[in-house]
Amino acid sequence: MEKFTKLKSIAADLQISNIDTDMIIPKQFLKTIKRTGLGSALFYEMRYDEKGNVIKNFILNNTPFNKAKILISGKNFGCGSSREHAPWALLDFGIRCIIAESFADIFYNNCFKNGILPIILPENQVKELSEAARKNKEIEIDLIDQKIHKGDNRPFDFEIESFRKECLLNGYDDIALTLKKDAKIESFEQRKKNLTPWLY
């Protein structure tokens, strides 16, 4: 997983609430057995019409926003299915950070596994950032200090669990970290085998 420390980019503003995973990546792209190459499928039905032509007024189809690394959206971003194809598609498109008022649980979790930083901010701050985004202003995310700089002297603070932060900053592989606790897992399992033997 690629490390995440600081990120400076213009941001694409997609002010729709309840963006679901079917919108982020429709089902026909879930037939892949790979993680890569899904960027072209991101927001497919919003980006292309039924004949496959580019829909001009969709933000991610327009320069400079087609190069945005930050996405700003409404409430409950990523609701719906558990498909990790959603963060894979965002990542492949180039998005490394999503700022919204709230996220759906599974999607939020999936982001961290792929080096994407989802940031939750209150409504007024999201609005302010979305205005800055629409003016093509660059936004800088500093994960180390947990600050968002937007070109004035009033950076926003954001929260993140310390373990998730560590993993992003260092690009850790979760599984390798867990395997270090192998002895704990083994002894837990032994106890479980005595307590609930029918499960083994």
Partner 1 sequence: MAKTLYDKIWESHLVDEQNDGTSLLYIDRHLVHEVTSPQAFEGLRLSNRKVKLPGSTLAVVDHNVPTTDRSKGIADKESAIQVETLSKNCKDFGIEFFGLTDKRQGIVHVIGPEQGFTQPGMTIVCGDSHTSTHGAFGALAFGIGTSEVEHVLATQTLIQSRAKNFKISVDGKLPLGVTAKDVILSIIGNIGTAGGTGYVIEYCGEVFRNFSMEERMTVCNMSIEAGARAGLVTPDQKTFDYIKGRPLAPKGENWEKALNYWSNLYTDKDAKFDRELYLQGKDIEPTVTWGTSPQDIASINGKVPDPNLEKNEDRKKSILRSLDYMGLEPNTAIQDIKIDKVFIGSCTNGRIEDLREVAKIVKGKKVNKSVDAIVVPGSGLVKLQAEKEGLDKIFKDSGFDWREPGCSMCLGMNPDQLKPKERCASTSNRNFEGRQGRGGRTHLVSPVMAAAAAIEGKFVDIRKII
Minimum CB distance to partner 1, residue 67 (Å): 26
At 200, list the tokens.
């083994």
Q: What are phi and psi of 72, to 5 degrees?
A: -115, 130
The span of 56-64, 78-86, 134-142, 147-155 binding partner 1 (CB under 8 A) equals 78-86
**Nearer Cβ to partner 1 (34/56):** 34
Minimum CB distance to partner 1, residue 108 (Å): 9
- 7 contributes a contact to partner 1 by CB under 8 A: no
CA torsion, points 161, 166, 172, 178, in degrees to nearest 10?
-60
Distances (CA, A) of 162 to 48, 76, 155: 39, 23, 20
**Nearer Cβ to partner 1 (16/54):** 16
Q: Which of residues 119-138 bind partner 1 (CB under 8 A)?
A: none
**Distance of alpha carbon 55 from alpha carbon 99, whole angstroms:** 24
At 192, list the tokens.
């479980």
- Chain residues in the site for partner 1 (CB under 8 A): 16-18, 20, 22-23, 26-28, 30-35, 45, 50, 74-76, 79-84, 87, 102, 104-106, 109-110, 113-114, 161-164, 174-175, 178-179, 181, 184-185, 188-189, 192, 195-200
